Structure 1
C-alpha cells in the first residue's frame, strides 16, 4: 500500500507539468493574426455618402464603381468633344483611393487612336478625379487602408 501511495505521489508530482499554462506574447498573437488575414480584400469598400449604409460588400463595391463611372461620364460629356472619326473604345483607369479618402490616378491605358482624336482626354480624366465628391476610405478591421481599382471607361463618339 505504501508503494502504491509513493508511486501515486511521484506520478502526481511529475504530471503537474500538464497543468501549467503557456504564456503567449502579444507579438506572437499579432504575428499569427497577420499571417491569417487576407490583405487582398477589405472589410468595407471606399464609399460616397449615398453608398455608406450598404453593408454587403458586393453591393457597396457596385455602388462605388457606378458612382465613379457615372461621374466620369458626366464630366467627359460636359466637355463636348469634337472628333473627326467615330470612336468606340475602352480605356482603363487605375484609380487609387488613399487611407484618407483622397483619389488619384495611378496610371491609364489609353489607345493611341483615342488620344489622336481626343488629345485632352488624359487631362479631362485627371480633372474629373480631382473634383470627385468626398470619398470615405476602405477599411480593414476598422483601420483605413489604401485601395486600387481598375476602372473601364467606354469612349463612344461620332
Structure 2
C-alpha cells in the first residue's frame, strides 16, 4: 500500500501544466512596435565622410557639422549687405527622407532678419539643395525619414 501511495504522490507533485497559445505575426508586430522607441534611430543620416563613425553621437555631430558648414559657406558667398547689425538665431527644420533626399520643412526666422535679408529663406533652401549625397537614417536596418531642428546664428554688421 505504501508503494502505490508514494508513486501517486510523486506523479501529482511532478506534473506540470504548460499553457501555450499560438501568436499571430500581427500580434508579434504590435508587441514589438510598443517596445520600440520610434523617436530614436539606430543610425543617423550620413555623408560619405561621416559613415565611418560607429558612435551615434559622433555620427550625429559629423552630420550636423557638415550641414552647418554648407549653409554658412553658401550664406557667406551671397555677400549680403545690411543697414543695421544683426545678431539672431533662426531655426531650420530639415527633413532627410528615407531615400536620403534633404528638404526644408520650415524655417523659423525673426522679422528683423527678414527685413534686413529678405532672401535668406531662399539662400538656405539653395544651400540645402547643394548638399552632397546623404545616406538616410535607419531603424533596425530599414531606411527611415528624420527631421532635425538646426539653429543657424546670423551675425552681420
TM-score normalised by L of structure 2: 0.90
Which residue is 2:48 aligned to? Answer: 49
Deviation string 1:83-137 (CA, Å, 9 cap, x unpaired) is: 1111111111110110110111111111101101111101111111111111000
Separation (CA, whole Å) in 1 of partners of 2:145 and 2:125: 19
Alignment of 1:102-113 (within 5 A): 102-113=101-112
Determine helix, strand or coil for the equivalent of 1:17: coil
Q: What is the total number of aligned residue pairs between the two structures?
A: 156
Separation (CA, whole Å) in 2 of partners of 1:131 and 1:55: 26
Which residue is 1:63 aligned to? Answer: 62
Q: How far is the alpha carbon of 1:46 from its aligned partner?
A: 0.4
Does the alignment pair 1:126 with 2:125? yes
Does the alignment pair 1:36 with 2:35? yes
Does the alignment pair 1:150 with 2:155? no
Q: How far is the alpha carbon of 1:155 from its aligned partner?
A: 0.7
Q: How far is the alpha carbon of 1:44 from its aligned partner?
A: 0.2
Q: How far is the alpha carbon of 1:47 from its aligned partner?
A: 0.5
Deviation string 1:50-107 (CA, Å, 9 cap, x unpaired) is: 0011010110010000100010000000011111111111111110110110111111
The unaligned stretches of length 5 or more in structure 2 are none
Which residue is 1:95 aligned to? Answer: 94
Does the alignment pair 1:4 with 2:5? yes
Separation (CA, whole Å) in 2 of partners of 1:35 and 1:105: 30
Determine helix, strand or coil for the equivalent of 2:67: helix
TM-score normalised by L of structure 1: 0.89
Alignment of 1:12-23 (within 5 A): 15=15, 17-18=17-18, 21-23=20-22
Determine helix, strand or coil for the equivalent of 1:149: strand
Separation (CA, whole Å) in 2 of partners of 1:115 and 1:101: 29
Q: How far is the alpha carbon of 1:148 from its aligned partner?
A: 0.6
